[in-house]
Amino acid sequence: MKQLFTVFLICKALLFTVSAQNAPAIIPKPKLVKMAGGQVTVSDITQLVIPQKNPGLSRLAEQYAGVLGLQKYKITESATPSFAQDKSLVFQLMQRESSKEYYSLTITKNGILVLATTERGFFYALQTLIQLLESQDPQKGALILPFIYIEDEPAFSYRGMHLDVARHFFTVEQVKQYLDLMARYKMNYFHWHLTDDQGWRIEIKKFPLLTEVGAWRKGTHQGHAHDKKAGSDNKPYGGYYTQAEISEVVRYAAERQIEVIPEIEMPGHSSAALAAYPEFGCTGGPYAVETRWGVFSDVFCTKDTSLWFVKEILNEVCSLFPGKYIHIGGDEVPRDRWKACNNCQAIRKRLALKNEDELQSYFIEQVGNHLFNKGKALIGWDEILDGGLAPNATVMSWRGVKGGIEAAKMKHNVIMCPGSHCYFDHYQSESPREPLAIGGFTNLEKVYSFNPVPEELKPAEARYVLGAQGNLWTEYIPDVNHLLYMAFPRAIALAEVLWTPASERNYLEFADRLRLHARWFQKNKINFSHSYLDLGYRTHTGKDGVEFSFVRPPVPGRILIESEKPEEGIVQDYTLSDTFLLDKSIEFAAWYQLPDNSLGRSLRLNYQHHLAAGKNINLLNSPSERYPGMGVQCLVNGFSAPETRYGGNEWIGLEGQDLEATIDLGAVKDLSQVSVQFFNAASSWIYLPVSLVILSSEDGKNYKEIARTVLAETEDRVIRPSVSMPEGSKSRYLRISAPNYGLIPKGKPGGGHKAWLFIGEIIVE
């Protein structure tokens, strides 16, 4: 170990840009900031000057005077508010064509002048002021503000966060904390996922059983959905919000310039509703509130009475939520029941609908028209595109950005929340110590790199992309601390993506500002994930081995390593070069040490050298954009993929396609066996290939089969079948072929879809 690393013991200069010393750590970063020398002491401000007859602004000014630390002050209403004799905080309403979210902030020796077009602009100016105060050196004692000029408005009008309270319930107080944090980062839409298979969480007076029955389940599945062993905990679980509580949350959000969008799931994800009122399903039940995670076949029937039922529910929902939008779900609707239902089929015939996709479209359109007549706008997940999009519908694009692009081209409004960048229930670090998550890999840097407007859209189409949203599904998030850990800091990164133009964003500089915010979370005892400070790694093709490089966290620090058998049993005090060659098997651990000497979590690696390690590999079928690993080279980089989860750097996912990998071993080699890691998780639509076939070639053109094995179905887990090569096998080129399982059988999760094939390490010996 030592000799391996000492060769590379070159202390490299730190590559980090340190942001301008006195630029304030405001997130999201304002559009324009100009600093001037000088500062004003907050307690010297003794006057609030606000526009006449504007109770909203008056309330806001008084509320925040305390928050900002003003002590004794008098309030003056003025037709033309401006700086007064005494140092003052002045709110001046301005006319401006553009954004109702615009504000400017000027701090001089006279105090603070805020200009905005609406109450929202003033609210955002105050959030900026609070962060400006937090940016000051805490050692200084008195609260001071620097002389500064800020002009600001957001890049996108929709800056959302979603919260699933069906899978796990969060109290009104916890929801309020979530709203507080959204407001701090100037997010303005709260998408409240109130109903799902595992619980109905909103009181509907006309249908009391929705909460009496639908809000309670008999237990909760333990472990991952594809882990069948643990089963349910058999502990009754539930909860719901009364209408008074709903109104209180709506009011609280509005005070923070946040519109609440309720989501009432239909026609799918409706087990809880059907458990309460089975007559609105196709089969009549009985149904149960689900204790497991997934997609379930029992959905609302499309018959007239079921439509009446959901419209009556929506009538109450519309009167509770004053905002424009009502979300009706529309995602993941199996068609099995509709196909077998006389009522559904009679409707299909009556309306001459071609298939069940059009039946889904019919259902959504009926609901959309109803909402439209009540002055509301329908939002649905991108499945509402199937079978034709309802007029005026806004599409929330979650299965990638494809649905969003399609809708924008059809001149429909779009909110982007592709799983790849906006699902905060995904893992946020490669560390095995991350808490159990649904899967996927969406780290802070990836969120920060998000561009909500795909390049395919022409400017006239791009206008329809209103913004984006971070989604927090809570199957694997049982409590509020865990929720905060998953949400922050990823939501903060998204807030900046949606506020600050891409040309002004830089991840390292953001991470530098984020450190101050991390301290704020710590000071306020609000959970926050430091996973973005984990050390990462990448591998590349190397000469006779694997070129390994560390991926440094986005803050200055140094890398420390420990070998398999540390001579002194301690972390060796090496500052490592970032790149080196691995050419023999080795286990090692590495840490990142921050300037305050704190160590991040360890990165523990087990490199297993083999004949294909670091060699060139090509795939006939490209990996899915959602599961690209760290590039196809990860299949032969000497690091096995983790057994506990798919996604991340070491797994590659093929959607419906065969594995057809060609490896150039560089020279003719003696071969004894080939083994390949495959993930197997039917509940996540991931299946083993039907067989594993090895072909070889001397010239890289003509291949012949040399060995094969057929893979039997097994329980869900990672398997690593190996195929022995015939005696005396030699070859330079290998082709590894593993045909995809094909279409998922009806009745299984994802039935009718193409199976996913996940491949980890290919080991050639």
Query: Known catalytic residue: 332?
Result: yes
Q: Which of 91, 309, 398, 685 binds ligand ACM (CB under 6 A)?
A: 398
The answer to whether the CB of 736 falls within 8 A of the CB of 759 is no
**DSSP label of 42:** G
Minimum separation from the CB atom of position 750 to ligand ACM (A): 12
Collapsed DSSP state (helix, strand, coil) of residue 730? strand
Contact 759, 636 (CB under 8 A): no
**Residue among 196, 365, 386, 716 flagged as catalytic:** 196
Contact between 129 and Zn ion by CB under 5 A: the answer reads no
What are the angstrom distances between the C-alpha of 368 and each of 405, 412, 416, 646? 21, 14, 20, 38
The residue with its CB nearest to ligand ACM is 331
Contact criterion met (CB below 8 Å) for 459 and 521: no
Which CB sits closer to Zn ion, 163 or 282?
282
Nearer to ligand ACM, 185 or 398 (CB): 398
Tell me: cis bond preceding 28? Omega within 30 of 0 counts: yes
Report how far apart, in Å, the C-alpha atoms of 437 and of each of 424, 564, 604, 650, 697 are: 10, 29, 20, 17, 42
Only one residue has tokens 């110590």, namely 433
**Considering beta carbons, is residue 348 or 615 the nearer one to Zn ion?**
348
Closest among 388, 452, 447, 366 to 414, alpha carbons compared: 452
Q: Does 310 bind Zn ion (CB under 5 A)?
A: no
332, interface contact from ligand ACM, Zn ion, none, CB < 5-8 Å by kind: ligand ACM
Burial 125-143 (b: 16+ CB within 10 A, else e): bbbbbbbbbbbbeeeeeeb
Q: Which of 103, 325, 338, 381 binds ligand ACM (CB under 6 A)?
A: 381
Rounded to 5°, the CA angle 152-122-320 comes to 115
Query: From the list ligand ACM, Zn ion, none, which binds 559 (C-beta under 5 to 8 Å, kind-based)?
Result: none
Query: Does residue 476 belong to the site contacting ligand ACM (CB under 6 A)?
Result: no
Rounded to the nearest whole angstrom, what is the least distance from the CB of residue 401 to ligand ACM in the complex?
A: 14
Nearer to ligand ACM (CB atom), residue 226 or residue 517: 226
The answer to whether 75 and 48 are in contact (CB under 8 A) is yes
62 is a site residue for ligand ACM (CB under 6 A): no
Among Zn ion, ligand ACM, none, the one that 344 touches (CB under a kind-dependent 5 to 8 A) is Zn ion
Phi, psi of 604 (to 5 degrees): -105, 125
Q: Select the binding partner of residue 398 from ligand ACM, Zn ion, none (C-beta < 5 to 8 A, by kind).
A: ligand ACM
* Least spacing, CB of residue 309 vs Zn ion, in Å: 13
Q: Please report whether residue 282 would count as binding Zn ion according to CB under 5 A.
A: yes
Instruction: Tell me the sheet residues that pair with 629.
Output: 631
Residues in the chain: 765
- Decide if residue 331 touches ligand ACM (CB under 6 A): yes
- Measured from the CB atom, the residue of 104 and 397 that comes closer to ligand ACM is 397
Q: Minimum distance between the CB of residue 288 and Zn ion, rounded to whole angstroms?
A: 19
- Upstream peptide bond of 267 is cis (omega within 30 degrees of 0): yes
Contact characters 328-357, Zn ion, x per CB under 5 A: -------------x-xx-------------
Contact stretch for Zn ion (CB under 5 A) within 111-119, 274-282, 371-379, 393-401: 274-282
In the window 248-287, what residues touch ligand ACM (CB under 6 A)?
none
How many chain residues interact with ligand ACM (CB under 6 A)?
4
Q: Is 503 exposed, middle or buried (0-12, 13-18, 19+ CB in 10 A)?
A: exposed
The secondary structure of 504-536 as a DSSP string is G--HHHHHHHHHHHHHHHHHTT-----GGGS-E
How many whole angstroms separate alpha carbon 394 and alpha carbon 412? Answer: 6
Residues of 23-58 as b/e, b for ≥16 C-beta within 10 angstroms?
ebbbbbbbbebeeeeebbebeebbbbbbbeebeebb
Active site residue 168: no
Q: How far is the CB of 341 from Zn ion (least distance, A)?
A: 3
CA distance 573 to 529: 27
Please tell me whether residue 402 binds ligand ACM under the rule CB under 6 A.
Answer: no
269 a catalytic residue: yes
- Cα 207 to its chain centre, rounded Å, is 34
Between residues 282 and 692, which has the closer beta carbon with respect to Zn ion? 282
Q: Specify the residue, 313 or 665, whose C-beta has the smaller distance to Zn ion.
A: 313
Residue among 140 and 349 whose Cβ is closer to Zn ion: 349
> From the CB of 357, what's the least distance to Zn ion, in Å?
15
122 binds ligand ACM (CB under 6 A): no
Q: Which does 343 bind (CB under 5 to 8 A by kind): Zn ion, ligand ACM, none?
A: Zn ion
Kindly name the residue from 119, 203, 332, 534 that is annotated as catalytic.
Answer: 332
Instruction: Kindly report whether the peptide bond that precedes residue 628 is cis, defined as omega within 30 degrees of 0.
Output: no
- The DSSP code sequence of 593-646 is E-TT--B---EEEEE---TTTT-EEEESSPPPTT--BTBGGGGGSS-PPPSS-S
Residue in 221, 269, 370, 517 annotated catalytic: 269
331 binds, among ligand ACM, Zn ion, none (CB under 5 to 8 A by kind): ligand ACM
Q: Does residue 307 belong to the site contacting Zn ion (CB under 5 A)?
A: no
Single out the residue of 332, 430, 534, 716 in contact with ligand ACM (rule: CB under 6 A): 332
Residues marked active site are found at 196, 269, 332
> Which residues are at the interface with ligand ACM (CB under 6 A)?
331-332, 381, 398
> Which residues are at the interface with Zn ion (CB under 5 A)?
282, 301, 341, 343-344
